[in-house]
Structure 1
Amino acid sequence: MAATDPQIVTTSLPTGLALVEREIAAACRDARRDRASVTLVAVSKTFAADDIVPVIAAGQTVFGENRVQEAKAKWPALTAAHPGLELHLIGPLQSNKAKEAVALFDAIHSVDRPSLCEALAREIEKQARKPQLFVQLNTGEEPQKAGIAPQDADDFIARCRSAYGLEIAGLMCIPPVEDAPGPHFALTAKIAARNGLKLLSMGMSADFAIAIQFGATHVRVGSAIFGHRPPLTAR
């Protein structure tokens, strides 16, 4: 579901969530997986709190945001009003935002460089908070994208553990838009398996069913739930 009229986005939210849930359940059946093995991360970036509340009311508890500052502006009030929510950072994280990110997020999907590892390790110790950490891979080795190249992943994961004492829970990837996603998901799963990582953040609105076939434990779905995103100038 992708609504084209901004006026109908709010009223269609629960329907979008229900459609996505049905697709996840079907993909899990096809892959002979338990539905409980896949976490739906509803990507609420650029949407206001008023747009998110109906999705919470429909039963969704895990949400994803791309930017620390945007999340700070709307989520403290939402989490206070709705206990039990989980917030995931799925966008790039600047090292100087590590303090705020560790305080706010329950999971960070974009660990991708030593300076960020150092900042996260420092804040995790200071705050006594341990968000789940995912190393972001750049499986297509696209220069405009963040992430660790596949051939460097094993060394980087080992360094996260040994040099910074970080507990890495899994891997995240975003395949190039022009590529078939399956090989990228398969590569990510292979790297995770050989490094003893159980969590795989793979798949978005267009390809989450395929990602589930390749073992995704977290799928990041926005437009199929919320419809088209409002313009950035409208935030």
Structure 2
Amino acid sequence: MTTIADRLANAQHRIEQAAQISSRNANEIQLLAVSKTKPNSDILAAYTAGQRRFGENYVQEGESKVNALKDCCPEIEWHFIGPLQSNKTKIIASHFHWMHTVSREKIASRLNEQRPKEMPPLNICIQINISGEASKSGATPEELESLASKIEQMPNLILRGLMAIPTATSDKQLQTDEFQQLQTLYQELKSLYPRVDTLSMGMSNDLEQAIAQGSTMVRIGSAIFGERDKP
């Protein structure tokens, strides 16, 4: 029977292979294990196997996991990667290390105001709606520079980079084109803010393409934990 540790090792091997093909250093690419809807026991199994970065999509579920695992898994780095309503920003500000889906100044401002003073600044990725789909969240490419400038002025946030979800399609060229667009925006952002170092793109089904286009963080769920359960 294939274990979570086995699947985690396989995911890391895929990252290493993709990096080699693209003449990149695999150490530049972080694996974010997407544990949404999965039980704490699965996270503990991955943690025991050496995984430290975990991504959650749902606010209450994420809060519950952070609280439940903080004593037994003290080195966990929690990333929030789902949509966030403004009335729930305090939970993210006070429990998570990273927030990947900031696309509006209002959300950023609330996160900044509600970040506890005893915690380090919250790491922020701006989500870009790279596919232009109305059903997806994210700032437009045209809004990026203004939003980044505002986040840079917020002392309790630290701008780390960009995040996007490409079109769900079997058209590999379309996905590659979207990854390339995000890479271009990332380089432009990095030229303005040299501290920026994170390009969060690529998931279980397209991580190889994402790495070929410069991803520094791939978000892998089903390839590690199996198909998603209902929340």
Between the aligned partners of 1:160 and 1:231, the Cα distance in structure 2 is 34
Higher mean C-alpha deviation, range 210-219 or range 172-181:
172-181
Gaps of 5+ in 1: 1-7
Matched, 1:215 2:214: yes
Between 201-210 and 88-97, the greater mean CA deviation after superposition: 88-97
Query: Given residue 29 of structure 1, which amino acid in structure 2 is its aligned partner?
Result: Q
SS in 2 for 1:229: coil
Q: Which residue is 1:139 aligned to?
A: 130
User: Which of structure 1's runs of 4+ aligned residues deviate more than 4 A?
Assistant: 125-128
Q: 1:231 deviation in Å?
A: 2.8
Aligned to 1:18: 9
TM-score when normalising by structure 1: 0.88
My pick for the range that moved more, 104-113 or 180-189, is 180-189
One-letter code of the match for 1:87?
Answer: W
1:107 aligns with 2:90: no
Residue in structure 2 matching 1:170, options 161, 176, 187 = 161
Check conservation: 1:154, 1:191, Cα contact below 8 A.
Answer: no
SS in 2 for 1:81: coil
| TM-score, normalising length: structure 2 | 0.90
Q: Give the alignment partner of residue 194 of structure 1, picking from 185, 188, 197.
A: 188
**What percent of counterpart residues are identical?**
36
Instruction: Give the CA deviation at 1:41.
Output: 0.3
Q: For 1:18-37, what aligned pairs fall within 5 Å after superposition?
A: 18-37=9-28
- Listed as ranges, the gaps of 5+ residues in structure 2 are 191-195
Q: In the alignment, is the contact (CA less than 8 A) between 1:88 and 1:106 conserved in 2?
A: yes
Q: CA RMSD in A?
A: 1.7
Q: Take 1:123 and 1:89, find their aligned partners in 2: how far apart are those partners?
A: 16
Structure-2 separation of matches of 1:128 and 1:81:
20
Q: Give the whole-Å Cα distance in 1 for the aligned partners of 2:230 and 2:151.
A: 37
1:184 to 172, 178, 183: 178
Equivalent residue in structure 1 for 2:69, among 63, 74, 78: 78
Cα deviation, residue 167, structure 1? 2.7
Change (3 A) 1:73 1:21: same
- Structure 1 CA distance, aligned partners of 2:98 and 2:56? 11
Post-superposition offset of 1:160: 2.5
Mapped contact 2:130–2:182 kept (Cα < 8 A) = yes
Aligned CA distance change for structure 1 residues 195 and 70 (closer, same or farther; 3 Å)? same
d(CA) in 1 for partners of 2:119, 2:76: 19
Q: Tell me if 1:130 matches 2:121.
A: yes
